[in-house]
Copies of this chain bind each other. A is one copy, B any other.
Amino acid sequence: MSSQETPRRPTIADVARQAGVATSTASVVFSGKANVATATRERVLKAAAELGYAGPDPRAASLRRGRSGIVAVVLEGHLRAAFLDPVTTAMMDGLTDGLADLSAGILLMRDESGEEGPAIADAPVDAFVLIGCSGRTKASLEVVLGRGLPVVVIEGDAGETVPRITLDNTEAAAQVARHVRDLGHQDVALVTLPLDSERERLPVTPERVANATIDVAVHRLSGTRQVFPDAPAISASGSLIDEGVLVGRMLLADAEKRPTAIIAQSDLLAVGVIRAAEELGLRVPEDLSVAGFDGIAVDGLSDLTLTTSVQPAVEKGRAAGEQIARMLRGEPAVTQHLTCVFRAGTTTARAPR
């Protein structure tokens, strides 16, 4: 009789049978939802060990419970690019915290325009976090809303009905600009984040701003322009140190009409600008003041402290996680507006005269 072939994995029913209890009892032993007599529990555990049963199949449990314990994070563009950005990683960090109560996992997805993998349309997740909702991401939002799953949008233009996490980019940028102005600077140049998916390294023109799709860049720019309406600006092709170096060189090339201060829309860009300045033998901040945005810990800027606006990157993630948690509990989610904090560093000083 021992010739029965059973290559299939044991189920909780097998365990229960082996232990001489009901499946429901065995189930409770594993879920811990109710009290079980110690003797019974031991019997079940022993049976499980004998059969090599490693606990309930999560897929079946998901179906039954209606929850998979996974939250999808939809990023724009290649995953690699996303993780190159310290702000994004910090945010992910906060997200894991905010989701901690749910002890939910994070499923990474990019919002590919959809031709190939079904991906976001049928991922077994309980909720979605969309990051930077611009253009194509809106299509993703449609799909998600169609599925009727909870969704939170971080720093994206998603409409009033969707709970969002927003930042006071405009005001924070204005604050940085005021600091620079108060130091006496009048010749100021700007380095912006990419304005659209083209990501071209180009002078910023009113037309380009009008057609821009990346809100963060537009908002920060408008804040800065409140103070320096006519400051020349160049858009970087990404938030990278090397980009900052390239744009910095462009802005500092002409020794005649060199600005006395450069305001960048990200700390990485600012560091690049500083490096470009050093290349040219300019001292920061004596000859050139440089300000950034984000307030991340930039690796490789040994001694200087960057003047910047510190954005609550971790907090953004945490807030999103908390809203998701609320929605999954059936409570209404709310849009949360977070604010940046200005930090005066050692990279800005009074304008040389």
Taking beta carbons and an 8 Å cutoff, which residues of A are in contact with B?
9, 52, 54-63, 66, 68-70, 72, 78-80, 83-84, 86, 89-90, 92-93, 96, 100, 103, 105-110, 116-119, 121-125, 146-148, 240-242, 245, 268, 271-272, 275, 279, 299-300, 302
Contacts and interface: CB of A to CB of B under 8 A. Distances in A.
Contacts of A62: 59, 62-63, 124
B300 A245 contact: yes
Given A80-B93, A107-B70, A116-B103, A122 B58 contact: yes
A89 B93 contact: no
Contacts of A93: 78-80
B96 A89 contact: no
Contacts of A275: 300, 302
A139 to B, nearest CB: 14
A63 to B, nearest CB: 5
29 contacts: A9-B148, A54-B146, A54-B147, A55-B122, A58-B122, A58-B125, A59-B62, A62-B63, A62-B124, A70-B107, A70-B123, A78-B93, A79-B89, A79-B93, A79-B96, A80-B92, A83-B89, A84-B86, A96-B110, A103-B117, A105-B123, A106-B108, A107-B108, A240-B299, A241-B299, A242-B300, A271-B300, A275-B302, A279-B302
The 7 A-B residue pairs with the shortest CB-CB distance, nearest first, are A103-B117, A58-B124, A241-B300, A83-B83, A80-B93, A59-B62, A241-B299
B70 A80 contact: no
Contact of A80 (B9, B66, B90, B121): B90
Contacts of A117: 100, 103
A231 B54 CA distance: 49
For this chain, the copies found in one complex come to 2
A9 to B, nearest CB: 6
A274 to B, nearest CB: 10
B55 A121 contact: yes
A60 to B, nearest CB: 5
Nearest to A102: B117
Contact of A123 (B58, B79, B83, B109): B58
Contacts of A72: 105
Nearest to A109: B105
A124 B79 contact: no
